[in-house]
Amino acid sequence: AAVSAGARMINDVAALTYDDRSAEVIAASDVPVVLMHHKGPPETMQEDPRYDDVLVEVYLWLEDRIAAAEDAGIKHDRILVDPGFGFGKKLSHNLELMNGLALFHSLGVPVVIGASRKRTIGALSGEAPADRRLGGSIAFALKAAEQGVQIVRTHDVFETVQALRVWRGLRDQALTPRV
């Protein structure tokens, strides 16, 4: 229904695991899909998530989901991945993911990050409420951009775009050789 109504991308927080029909619907459409990592059902995913190595485990899980999507007929060039910041992860897991985002580029598909206003920002900033996490959201967006993430999902579009443009200008100037 969303595709028929004009949706231009599907953000699947279940990476095709919650509904057996989702892969078929996406394969029959022309829209890209974001396959997001999660650990456990929404009702319990935050109770006590554990990983031996969060980066490796999320990477391998996403690699499997990409293969499943392609097996279902979804073209590789229409697949994006999201490591699922906050979905079945503790603060330490989220920080490891944020600091290791560049690893996910080797999956061969664009990387999406959605860390805007997440609990991790609240925890790192003295439990600021969600509507007071703009600064932390921008910090995470810049960290993601630094690691080459192609798409940053955000609540505060204007401020995040402005921060990314300024960051890019500073970076490009720093890389410009002096004559």
Which pLDDT tens digit goes with each residue over 147-156? 999 999 999 9
Q: Of the candidates 81, 34, 90, which has an alpha carbon nearest to the alpha carbon of residue 60?
A: 81
168 catalytically annotated:
no
pLDDT for 72: 96
Question: Would residue 119 show up in a list of annotated catalytic residues for this protein?
Answer: no
Q: Could you tell me which residue, 173 or 167, shows the higher pLDDT? A: 167
- For the beta sheet containing 10-12, the strands, ordered from the edge strand earlier in sequence to the opposite edge, are 10-12, 33-36, 79-82
pLDDT in tens, 18-69: 998 999 999 999 899 999 999 988 888 889 999 999 999 999 999 999 999 9
**What is residue 44's predicted lDDT score, i.e. its pLDDT?**
85
pTM, two decimals, is 0.91
Query: Which position among 153, 168, 171, 178 bears the catalytic label?
Result: 153
Residue tagged active-site, from 39, 65, 118, 133: 118
